[in-house]
Amino acid sequence: MWSTCPWPTSCGTSTFEWCAGTAPPSASSAGGRRKTSGVPPGSSWFPPEARAQVHRVWRELPSGARHNHSINANYRRDGSRILCEWFNTALKDNTGQVVAVASVAQDISEMERLRAHALEEKQRFQDLAEATAEAILIADPQGRITYANPAAERLFGLSEAEIRGQPLQSLLPSAPERAGRWEGTGLRAGGETFPVEGSVSQISGLSGVFRTYVVRDLTERKRFEEQLAYLANHDPLTGLFNRRRLREELQRQLAHARRYGETGALLFVDLDGFKEVNDNLGHQAGDEVLASVASFLRTCLRETDIVGRLGGDEFGILLPRAGEDEARAVAQKILQGLRLLNPVVGGQPVRVTASVGIVLLPADGSSVDDLLVLADAAMYQAKDAGGDRLCVGGRSRAGVTPAATRIAWERRIRRALETEAFVLHAQPILDLRTNRISQYELLLRLLDEQGTPVPPGEFLGIAERTGLIHSIDRWVIRQAVRLIDACADKGLDLRLEVNLSGRAFEDSELLPLIRRELGASRARPDNLVLEITETAAIRDIHQARAFVNDLKELGCRFALDDFGVGFGSFYYLKYLPVDFVKIDGIFIRSLRDDPVDPRVVKAIVEVAAGLGIHTVAEFVEDEETLQLLRQYGVDYAQGFHIGRPVPVSQLRLGES
């Protein structure tokens, strides 16, 4: 006799029992009875592919099995399929004969779906964890590690088997338990500690809270940050304080001297004839000489003295609690030592001498700018007297004040503007995508009485302090536009980069001049690239931004030079809509050997490319460096390997 329950439902259990030797009701005539030979009830509830297994399971019970269990696909009354778990029990009489079977069916479709989903998620997590470069650790409620991915094995120097079961604190001593981001310390197998950062997430389970730690090694980033912080205060070539930091120290010492009635001295040291070293032996040789001089200067000073590189071949030395006699003694020691230094560059010794200007503080100046101007003027007095000597300057010394030097240079600059004693040289810039010269940078030179070019470093400082720099800026702009116009008349497309002074933004006449010159010529505005150095003293960034925006409205382009020397470059990049950034040569010259330089260059290229800005590498002096720049994605290259500066009259335009 069969006795059946209703059809299996989607959210409960169904039961039925049947008696051996009688037929189950068919799907179409539930409640009917007919003879059977062991066919299980409701066979039509099962899809065809499952019926053989169902028959086997049911036949086992009458043959002696007390209980059995199976999982099968089933049909609902509406014909839809579900997955059921069946529990079958044979009911026997007191003689041990099976007289009936009781079955319980439970719909486990949703349970199976969730289980499959959980397995899929687990596999997805495992695939992701094994592929990621970040270390992943999972800790149980007792703080012991239950999982470590391959990146964790590499990071801590242990296999997963060695990591699993260890206390989390043995690898991450400072790891927090609360969810969120954190920075702390990691511990490698050999006991080495290293900086890490990461995140913590929590998952509550039946046995408590499990925590997942995603960990990143900060060693390289910390080293890079330390390098950037170092560059913000130090000259990367010599390792001395840079101009900005030296000014800070001078300001601090000046305030201290005023407050406590102490004295101090500032020495302004400028190498004699250094331009010839660069011109004859190359910039690499010049760098070696500067580094050698910097090392020597450190040996001449007390621990309390401060030395920095002001720029180019100029050094500043601050002597706290020193009077004129002490300053003279130190200066004489420096001059004598430099004469004997003779650094060997390229297999030959280089003779080094210097001119030293001395001022006292606070007597000779109430501000850092005053002291630097007076020391600079005293140094030029020493240089004008033949060099390799010192000169004590200051307001209290009639005859050696900066007035004579300043007035002489003012006259010389004015005469140069009137008599066309200024000349322009042009240095080619190579487009690394097309391997053709795409543009030139104009470089200003002043001819002395013998027709020898005077480098701009010797007169631009005086020009800025006297305001004549505005006249120089305007002269260079006029010459550049006329050169572009002359080439346009010949059907040639010439693009020129023009260096502007840091005070160009203050010149109310410069922008109208550019408009007039462009309007009166056939020069395309986008062939005029106006350039300013990062180290230039931009006094008002908002004024500068307005100036650059006006230039770009005219169609001109703008470049930021000496990019990457300090943090200022990124500050300017945020506010100035530049078209080009010129990566400072300090990161290019040692690109092949210094592990930091490639990282800096790649970072600059990535940032610039993301902002739609072209990159130019300066001081490219060999083919290997050029190929590295191509690999890093730099757009343009400039340097002696590409071409040396030549007078604009010697340009061979139209040739690649």
Q: How far is CA 215 from CA 128, 156, 174, in A?
A: 15, 11, 12
pLDDT of residue 290: 94
Stretch (H or E) spanning 299:
helix 283-299
pLDDT of residue 617: 95
The tokens for 479 are 């010459």
| DSSP alpha helix (H) spans, 76-198 | 109-131, 150-156, 160-163
pLDDT band for 49, please (50, 70, 90 cuts).
low
Q: How far apart are CA 454 and CA 205, in angstroms?
A: 79
| DSSP alpha helix (H) spans, 524-592 | 541-554, 568-575
pLDDT tens per residue, range 62-86: 555 556 666 767 667 677 777 777 7
Q: Which superfamily does 411-650 belong to?
A: EAL domain (3.20.20.450)
pLDDT band for 44, please (50, 70, 90 cuts).
low
pLDDT band for 564, please (50, 70, 90 cuts).
confident
How high does pLDDT run on average in the chain?
Answer: 81
> Are the CB atoms for 372 and 268 separated by under 8 Å?
yes
pLDDT tens per residue, range 267-316: 999 999 888 888 778 888 889 999 999 999 999 898 899 999 998 899 99
Which residues are within 8 A (CB) of 427 and not within 5 positions of it... i.e. 6 or more apart?
440, 441, 443, 638, 642, 643, 644, 645, 646
Mean pLDDT, residues 357-383 taken together:
84
pLDDT value at 25 more than 50:
no
Q: How far is CA 311 from CA 73, 303, 420, in A?
A: 84, 23, 28
> Are the CB atoms for 427 and 645 separated by under 8 Å?
yes
pLDDT tens per residue, range 486-532: 998 888 889 999 999 877 888 889 999 999 999 999 999 999 999 98
φ/ψ bin of 439: left (φ > 0), alpha (ψ from -120 to 50), beta (otherwise): beta
φ/ψ bin of 630: left (φ > 0), alpha (ψ from -120 to 50), beta (otherwise): alpha
pLDDT value at 464 more than 50:
yes
Q: Which range is most confident: 555-559, 561-565, 649-653?
A: 555-559
Q: Which superfamily does 132-217 belong to?
A: PAS domain (3.30.450.20)
Closest CA to 442 of 431, 459, 453, 427: 427
Any idea where the domains of the chain sit in the sequence? 2-111, 132-217, 230-400, 411-650
The tokens for 84 are 């059921």
Which phi and psi angles does 490 have, rounded to 5°?
-95, 5
The residue with greater pLDDT, 106 or 289, is: 289
pLDDT of residue 119: 73
Q: Which superfamily does 230-400 belong to?
A: Reverse transcriptase/Diguanylate cyclase domain (3.30.70.270)
Which residues are within 8 A (CB) of 551 and not within 5 positions of it... i.e. 6 or more apart?
511, 514, 530, 558
Helix axes 469-489, 510-519, angle to 10 degrees: 10
Angle at 342 between CA 337 and CA 343, to 5 degrees: 115
What is the CATH number assigned to the segment(s) 2-111? 3.30.450.20
pLDDT of residue 412: 78
Closest CA to 500 of 532, 468, 456: 532
Q: How far is CA 474 from CA 194, 226, 447, 557, in A?
A: 55, 41, 18, 17
In the block, residue with structure tokens 């197998």: 189
Closest CA to 492 of 257, 341, 653: 653
What is the residue type of 21?
Answer: G
Q: How far apart are CA 2 and CA 23, in angstroms?
A: 6
Q: What percent of the chain has pLDDT over 90?
A: 34
The tokens for 241 are 């304080």
Q: How far apart are CA 197 and CA 172, in angstroms?
A: 10
pLDDT of residue 5: 38
Mean pLDDT, residues 311-324 taken together:
92
DSSP 3-state of 455: coil
> Are the CB atoms for 244 and 233 separated by under 8 Å?
yes
DSSP letters of 375-414?
A: HHHHHHHHHHTTSSEEEE--TT-TTSSHHHHHHHHHHHHH
Which residues are within 8 A (CB) of 304 and not within 5 positions of it... i.e. 6 or more apart?
320, 321
Distance in Å from the first CA to the final CA of the chain: 103
pLDDT value at 35 more than 50:
no
pLDDT band for 30, please (50, 70, 90 cuts).
very low
Q: How far apart are CA 429 and CA 584, in angstroms?
A: 15
pLDDT value at 37 more than 70:
no
Task: DSSP letter for 43, please.
Answer: G
Q: How many residues does the chain have?
A: 656
Which phi and psi angles does 498 have, rounded to 5°?
-120, 125
Q: How far is CA 85 from CA 2, 100, 109, in A?
A: 21, 20, 9
Domains 132-217 and 230-400 share a fold: no
Q: List residues bridging with 70 in a β-sheet.
A: 86
Q: What percent of the chain has pLDDT over 70?
A: 81
pLDDT tens per residue, range 326-340: 999 999 999 999 999
